Amino acid sequence: MTVLILIVLGILLSPFNGFAQDDTGKRIYNQWCAQCHGYEGDGEGYAKEFTFPKPRDFSLGTFKFRTTPSGDPPTDEDIIRSIRNGNPGTSMPAWKRFSDEEVKALVEYIKEFAPDVFEFEPEPIKIENAPPATEEIIKKGKELFRVAKCVECHGQHGRGNGKKAWRDDFKDDWGYRIDPANYTYPWELRNGSSLKDIYRTITTGLSGTPMTSYQDSLSDEERWALAHFIKSLQVERRLGISLRLKKVESIPESTDDPQWESLDWLDLPMAGQIIFEPRHFTPTITNVRVRGLYTEDKVAIMLEWVDKKPNKGDDGMPPDGIRLQFPSKIPDGSERPYFYMGDRRHPVNLWVWNAADNLGKEYIAKGPDTVYSQQKQDVKAVGVYDDGLYRVIFVRSINTGDSEDIVFETGRFIPFAVTVYDGRLQEQGNKGVISAWYYIMLEPSTPLRVFVLPPAVSLMVFFAGFLLHKRLSRKADA
Amino acid sequence: MTNFYPVVALLGLAISLISVFRKSPFFNFIGIQITVYGLLKSAALIMPPLPGQVITMYMAMSVFAFLIYFSIQEETFRAFLEPMRAVLADRDKRILRVVLVFILIPLLAGYIAYAKTKPSFEPPVSARIVHPEPPQQIDFRGKTIKILGLENPLRKDTEKLKDYIEEGKKIYYQNCFFCHGDDLDGKGHFAQAFNPPPLPFRGTDTIAQLPESFVFWRIAKGWRGLPPGSAPWDSAMPAFEDFLSEEEIWKVILFIYEASGNKPRTWE
């Protein structure tokens, strides 16, 4: 018995035990983190040039995502939160597969890359007494947003398009380009998009970035008001595979016509084009919103996306732009053109708009490198850049009579795809941001029988019941 | 939601049993139909759910069969019809009659007619084969590679295997992880933009089912190599013969098996 206790004690106390624990953190880190954060924790991993933002360099001990005052190291819980939740809008995924012990070991290992920074025991802020959302508090937040100069970086409507960030020297402490956050897209908020997450960001700031802490310059109440305002700007993302267009009398010509707002929409998640050279690994546009309607003879599609800095093609960079793609004819079976630019046997129509000339152009593509302009140009387009948001309306006849053009038959699901370009990132040609195939359907007006038949059936059943009742009760009386 | 159907079946059974005791063939019939419906729906718990049409067909058969059963004996049949007659004719059932016969049933019939006449539009669904048959051989940048029976040539080099896997890791995190995920779970930061979604390598139903040469073919030829049944026009999988050498592809294959904890299928 004593021997056994001694052995157990020996194991518990042996330096070997501590060693084994260290090994867990290092082992998992080297297997699952080092490809990005580097084997030395210096951010020089294999994926460094292939993601934006770049993976964190832990060797400086600067951490963006904290509950601790600016300049202080993060708490263990802060690092655990980053590992467990990931950083939305970046390549840092949410790691759910590891046990709590394994994550703790990872945290210890990460801290070893900057040991002196972590000698100091930080004091986390308290996140409590969140006031409820009211119109007043949101209004107050909006006012503060201007007064505290958040607009300079984040833009009037919080789309991350403030002019201050357009300068070439707008960088983080690691020397890399950085963009102010676009609050309207919650899926892009690295530090989380809940009210408390936003409050935490404003209070402690994101160390190493131009996003500083407002713990000292704004009161607690003011920071909650700002958080409520920012939360109120978030859009509802509607994902799906198809969008139905309603028939109307006439097409609203301006992009800010309220009729557009009243329509249903479809959000398309976007990704870099990585199938053909030049492959594009680090795009920043994440979403394109689609709306549409049609009249007796025309169809109109409005595309909407956030671009933090407009490029008109006059500054040595290509212009911003967008491209809408349809198959040249509605596919009969399931076979259709390749979703990016079609293929030799299945051409696609391209409707193209760019910010330099602000008009619609029509092309035929039979693959990524086979694109030609059409003789007869039938597409009209007009686009507006307003406070970080592009809105472009394409209009074309339902049937142009051109055999290479798609005919928009009502009631048919017609594939479409989108490519969008941000000139600031040198995007043009095949270096673009692309979507999968989706569908639009021009919803036919409801046939008359839908209004006539159901009441008729109801009446008939009613009378049948009534007659039966009469007959049976007479029989009963007799 | 499917968990709720066994409860429906039990409820139907209860109604049916109580009705047997109370000698009410009509409610017994109703209870039986509810039980049958609940059971058909519960099938989804142990097998792929039955399509709506199949369920309608079985229900029609069940209604028909039990109607015949209850109408064989004249006495039972009269008892069976009694509740219906009572609702239609009895003086003391007036309120029930107005509600049921004159309001609810006509409304229900009208609604069914509406649901049937209203034109419904559903986007086409394309059933695609996820693991198509590979070709016997492929042309890899002018070189013919026989796929059937082929093994990963790097696996034999046990001494350098660790280095190969590490090089494969580098290739993976510069070419693949955007879609197939940092954790090989198919959830890379670009994954959401593509349809069909990128395959996960973790788990036992993707690469664990395949010999390495199949995987080589899928990586080398990408969307371009897919047969029509696998909807090549929708697949974002690049043809990596455009970007990687033969050896690089074998290396990244070593990595995805190692990292996902899977073993390739061997040629028996």
- The number of angstroms, rounded, from the C-alpha of A328 to the middle of its chain's C-alpha atoms is 29
A320 and A368 share a domain?
yes
Flag if A93 and B170 touch (Cβ within 8 Å): no
Nearest 5°: phi and psi at A339? -65, -20
**Interaxial angle between packed helices A220-232 and A195-204, expressed in degrees from 0 to 180 and rounded to the nearest 10:** 130
pLDDT per position as a tens digit, A166-223: 998 999 999 999 999 999 999 999 999 999 999 999 999 999 999 999 999 999 999 9
Helix (H) or strand (E) holding B259: helix B246-260
**Is the link from the previous residue into A53 a cis peptide, with omega within 30 of 0?**
yes
A188 and A247 share a domain?
no
Percent over 70 (pLDDT), chain B: 99
Q: Out of A119, A147, A176, pick the residue that ends a domain.
A: A119
Flag if B110 and A458 touch (Cβ within 8 Å): yes
Flag if A47 and B173 touch (Cβ within 8 Å): yes
* Facing A272 at nearest CB: one of B124, B172, B190: B190
Q: Out of A71, A87, A119, pick the residue that ends a domain.
A: A119
Q: What is the CATH number of the domain that holds A279?
A: 2.60.40.1190
Flag if B90 and A411 touch (Cβ within 8 Å): no
pLDDT per position as a tens digit, A7-42: 544 444 444 444 445 699 999 999 999 999 999 999
**Angle at alpha carbon of residue B79, lines to B77 and B81, rounded to 5°:** 70
A26 and A110 share a domain?
yes
Amino acid at A53: P
A289 and A437 share a domain?
yes
**A406 burial type by CB count under 10 A (0-12 exposed, 13-18 middle, 19+ buried):** buried
- Following DSSP, what letter does each residue of A108-155 receive, concatenated? HHHHTTSTTGGGS---PPP---PPPP-HHHHHHHHHHHHHTTHHHHH-
In a domain, A452, yes or no: no
Residue A13, pLDDT score: 46
**Angle at alpha carbon of residue B205, lines to B211 and B137, rounded to 5°:** 30
Q: Which two tokens stand for residue B163?
A: 């280095």
Q: Are A341 and A348 in contact (CB under 8 A)?
A: yes
| Rounded Cα–Cα distance for residues B51 and A188 (Å) | 39
In a domain, A100, yes or no: yes
* Chain B nearest CA to A410, separation (Å): 11
| Rounded Cα–Cα distance for residues A157 and A145 (Å) | 10
What is the chain A residue with the closest CA to B190?
A: A271
Q: Which of residues 383-402 of A touch B (CB under 8 A)?
A: none
In a domain, A201, yes or no: yes
Amino acid at A319: P
Q: Are A446 and B119 in contact (CB under 8 A)?
A: yes
Residue B236 — pLDDT band, cuts 50, 70, 90?
A: very high
| Rounded Cα–Cα distance for residues A394 and B224 (Å) | 31
Q: How far is CA B155 from CA B163, B202, B251, B252, in A?
A: 11, 20, 9, 12
A305 and A434 share a domain?
yes
Q: Say how many CB pairs under 8 Å bridge A and B.
A: 159
In a domain, A473, yes or no: no
Q: How far is CA B25 from CA A132, B10, B58, B63, B69, in A?
A: 59, 18, 21, 13, 10
Q: Are A60 and A173 in contact (CB under 8 A)?
A: yes
Contacts of B195 in chain A (CB under 8 A): 241, 436-437
- Beta A271-272 vs B143-146: how paired, if at all? unpaired
pLDDT per position as a tens digit, B160-210: 999 999 999 999 999 999 999 999 999 999 999 999 999 999 998 899 999
| Rounded Cα–Cα distance for residues A397 and A298 (Å) | 4
Please state whether B27 falls in left (phi above 0), alpha (psi between -120 and 50) or beta: alpha
In a domain, A372, yes or no: yes
pLDDT per position as a tens digit, A289-327: 999 999 999 999 999 999 999 999 998 999 999 999 999
A352 and A313 share a domain?
yes
Mean local confidence (pLDDT), A54-69: 96
A289 and A419 share a domain?
yes
pTM: 0.88
Flag if B106 and A275 touch (Cβ within 8 Å): no
Q: Out of A201, A232, A263, pick the residue that ends a domain.
A: A232
> Any residues with CB less than 8 A from the CB of A233 and at least 6 apart, and which?
A157, A158, A183, A184
Domain hosting residue A184, numbered range:
135-232
Of A110-124, B8-22, B41-55, B149-163, the least confident: B41-55
Residue A15, pLDDT score: 43
Q: Is B35 helix (H, G, I), strand (E, B) or coil?
A: helix
* Chain B nearest CA to A337, separation (Å): 6
Q: Which two tokens stand for residue B57?
A: 């067909």
Residue B268 — pLDDT band, cuts 50, 70, 90?
A: low
Q: Is A312 helix (H, G, I), strand (E, B) or coil?
A: coil
Flag if B114 and A454 touch (Cβ within 8 Å): yes
Tallying the residues shown for chain B, one arrives at: 268
Q: How far is CA B26 from CA A26, B16, B22, B39, B79, in A?
A: 72, 9, 11, 20, 7
Q: Are A137 and A222 in contact (CB under 8 A)?
A: no
A170 and A67 share a domain?
no
pLDDT surpassing 60 at residue A2: no
What is the chain A residue with the closest CA to B165?
A: A31
**Is the link from the previous residue into B196 a cis peptide, with omega within 30 of 0?**
yes
A52 and A80 share a domain?
yes
Contacts of B182 in chain A (CB under 8 A): 32, 35-36, 91, 93
A112 and A141 share a domain?
no
Closest CA to A371 of A325, A421, A427: A325
In a domain, A405, yes or no: yes
CB-based contact, A467 to chain B, within 8 Å: no
Number of domains in chain A: 3
In a domain, A169, yes or no: yes
Contacts of B120 in chain A (CB under 8 A): none
Residue B266, pLDDT score: 83
In a domain, A467, yes or no: no
Q: Is B201 helix (H, G, I), strand (E, B) or coil?
A: coil
A188 and A80 share a domain?
no
Flag if B182 and A339 touch (Cβ within 8 Å): no
Residue B91, pLDDT score: 87
* Chain B nearest CA to A161, separation (Å): 23
Q: What is the CATH number of the domain that holds A212?
A: 1.10.760.10
* Facing A411 at nearest CB: one of B121, B222, B243: B121
Q: Which of residues 199-218 of A touch B (CB under 8 A)?
A: none
Percent over 90 (pLDDT), chain B: 75
| Rounded Cα–Cα distance for residues A85 and A68 (Å) | 18
ipTM score: 0.91
Q: Please give the domain boundaries of chain B with CATH numbers for all domains.
A: 2-117 (no CATH), 137-260 (1.10.760)
A194 and A58 share a domain?
no
Contacts of A271 in chain B (CB under 8 A): 178, 190, 192-194
Q: Are A31 and A87 in contact (CB under 8 A)?
A: no
Which of A96, A106, A275 to mutate to probe the B interface, most B CBs <10 Å? A275
Percent over 90 (pLDDT), chain A: 90
pLDDT surpassing 60 at residue A4: no
What is the chain A residue with the closest CA to B111?
A: A454
Which of A27, A29, A33, A35 to mutate to probe the B interface, most B CBs <10 Å? A35
**Interaxial angle between packed helices A220-232 and A135-147, expressed in degrees from 0 to 180 and rounded to the nearest 10:** 100
> Any residues with CB less than 8 A from the CB of A82 and at least 6 apart, and which?
A65, A92
Residue A105, pLDDT score: 97
Evaluate the CA torsion angle A455, A461, A466, A470 in order and state its sign. Answer: positive
Nearest 5°: phi and psi at B156? -70, -25
Which of B169, B173, B223 to mutate to probe the A interface, most A CBs <10 Å? B173
Contacts of A447 in chain B (CB under 8 A): 117, 119
Task: Residue A398: count other Cβ atoms within 10 Å of its Cβ.
Answer: 16
